[in-house]
Amino acid sequence: MEKFNWNYPTTMWIGENRIKDLSLACKNLGINKPLLVTDNALSKTKIITYALKILKKQNILVEIFSNVVGNPTGKNVSDGVDFFKKKKCDGIIAFGGGSGLDVGKAIAFMSCQKLSLWDFEDVGDNWTKANSKEIAPIIAVPTTAGTGSETGRASVILNENTGVKKIIFHPKFLPSIVILDPTLTIELPPKITAATGMDALAHNLEAYCAPGYHPMADGIALEGMKLINQSLLTAFKDGSNIQARMNMLTAASMGSTAFQKGLGAIHSLSHPVNALNNIHHGLSNAIFMPYVLTFNKDSIESKIINICKYLELKEQSFEGFINWILDLRKKLNLPHKLSEVIKSEDLDVEKLSKMALDDPSTSTNPKKMSIDHMKDLYEHSMSGKLFK
């Protein structure tokens, strides 16, 4: 029998207004001077102001680093490490969406490394090269319900020199304490709620469909999809619905936990257009989803029917599931075709297809992929024609 490694989330503090426990999290981890890492837009909001007030009330000195872009880069990380050392910080509060969380985790990790960030790409045993004794402790506070980076042991960072997104991995990327507070997601615009929600769905869905033996990940993924089915449209239509927001935050964390089993071509296709065309990751996942599903049909049909049954969909068939996806995207005002967000002249299919084939997610797609398959998927997604 083939051997597998299973890992599970860290300590998670969950519930309405749990952000009030941020200073307690710092004290529990011995953090006296945290660096709060977030993106520039979020740094100017009342959410951050409130978090800083909580910390200062308990005499915790805090510095802010907000030089983080939507598809974070290696320079974002290196600048953050320099700032972390200059201010003599001793821990990280990674705060925000996937970009803030990924950069925050990477800063904590790289603050004590001598090798470059790219030496720790998730290939083979690269992670064993790291100095793992002095990695700064991490607290993660997600403000979107999508990436689930708060329960992940990696960060996705764009190498500006190559134009390729790289997955940087080490077990200690996993935050020591996660705070899931639905009140922090109330102000999310509907379009971001929609895109990040579809990102969470893609994680759970691809994890469940990935080959390999991991029944616990499968169970988590199924329940994650059920929460999304119950709550995504509600959160989109009524952003103040606390229970829907809580369910989506939970489903996002579950997706990240489940995809240790693997992902697939939805992510393989997404990462290159995120890097080269600066398309939001959740949005691209939503667009590619039905094309990849119909392409993979022969290998995943029985699993998709299982999902239909667990979600109690009206049409419990492969076609019924595709109809559910298409209807969900329509209700979320998300595009059906890649050509609705990228002009054909701006799409280098040859280059994108090679990058997609080389993406780490490709190895766990249910069907073996070739560069011609990737080209077909990009072309179908541009035209809007699903595979039969």
Question: Which pLDDT tens digit goes with each residue over 21-53?
Answer: 999 999 999 999 999 999 999 999 999 999 999
Percentage of residues in the chain with pLDDT exceeding 70? 100
Examine the pLDDT at 251 and tell me if it is beyond 90.
yes
In angstroms, rounded to a whole number, what is the distance separating the alpha carbons of residues 62 and 283?
33
| Residue 172: closest CA among 108, 118, 125, 117 | 108
Q: Which residues contact 292 (CB under 8 A, 6 or more apart)?
A: 264, 265, 266, 269, 365, 377
Relative to beta strand 91-96, strand 154-159 is unpaired
pLDDT in tens, 281-315: 999 999 999 999 999 999 999 999 999 999 999 99
SS3 of residue 158 by DSSP: strand
Mean pLDDT calculated for residue range 355-383: 97
Burial class (CB in 10 A: 0-12, 13-18, 19+), 20: middle
Which pLDDT belongs to residue 71?
87
Q: Does the pTM of the predicted model rise above 0.75? A: yes
pLDDT in tens, 104-128: 999 999 999 999 999 999 988 999 9
Query: What domains are defined for the chain?
Result: 11-185 (3.40.50.1970), 190-383 (1.20.1090.10)
What is the torsional sign of CA 318, 291, 208, 300? positive
